[in-house]
Amino acid sequence: MMDLVNYYRQLFLISWPAFCLFLSIMIFFVYRFALRMKAYRTGGKKTKALIRMWVMTLISLAVMIVFGTMFLTEHGEWLEKPGYMKGKIKEINSSGEKAVLTIDGAQSTLDLFAEKSIQEKLNKGDIVELFYIPGKKVIYQCNFLTEKSD
């Protein structure tokens, strides 16, 4: 459970501007729909007003679908499960803000990105348990199982 909390916290840190924009657009359209329903109920229940309300609702729904599709295209990790890998650090290539780690697991080798705070704790040969965001291949949690003995 804690892994999922950390996963969604990291996703929010990565995509908070887009998420807040998406959420505010959804709230705006739901609010407008509620106002239209109230105006229709208190008004004279005219057929023209009903047609206008449903046309505006369909347009709003189309806009919400377009924004939802754009958000999920750019930040589709919100619907994926977190990635997990246990293995030995084969190589660390640090260049700039993020380092590329090559992890040798039981079944495969995987290249992942690690931020400075994680990178400073890692050494070549460490056996680690990593949780990462699958689409972006960014590590958000690292647990050391054993360290290399030199």
Question: Is the pTM here over 0.75, yes or no?
Answer: no
Specify which residues 99 forms β-bridges with: 94, 114
Rg, C-alpha atoms of the chain: 24
Average pLDDT rounded to a whole number, residues 101-125? 79
pLDDT at 45: 64
Q: What is the mean pLDDT of residues 45-66?
A: 82
Confidence band, pLDDT 50/70/90 cuts, at residue 36: confident
- Please, what is the Cα angle at 23 between 22 and 27, to 5 degrees? 120
Mean pLDDT of 36-55: 77
Output the pLDDT for position 44.
66
What would the pLDDT profile of 91-101 be if each residue is shown by its tens digit? 888 776 677 77
Q: Flag whether pLDDT at 150 surpasses 60.
A: no
Q: In Å, how far are 108, 120, 135, 139 from 101, measured between CA atoms?
A: 14, 12, 16, 10
Whether residue 34 is predicted with pLDDT greater than 80 in this model: the reply is yes
The mean per-residue pLDDT over the stretch 5-11 comes to: 86
Rounded average pLDDT over 83-104: 79
The three-state secondary structure class of 10 is: helix
Predicted local confidence at residue 111, as pLDDT: 82
* 33 or 44, higher pLDDT: 33
Distance in angstroms (rounded) separating the CA atoms of residues 117 and 10: 14
Beta bridge partners of 89: 103
Strand spans (E) along 24-118: 83-95, 98-105, 109-115
- Spatial separation of the C-alpha atoms in residues 9 and 36, rounded to whole Å: 36
Each domain of the chain, given as residue ranges in start order, spans 2-79, 83-146
Mean pLDDT of 26-44: 82
Indicate whether 148 pLDDT > 60.
no
Dihedral of CA atoms 149, 117, 12, 76 in degrees, nearest 10, equals -50
Arch. (CATH architecture) of 83-146: Beta Barrel (2.40)
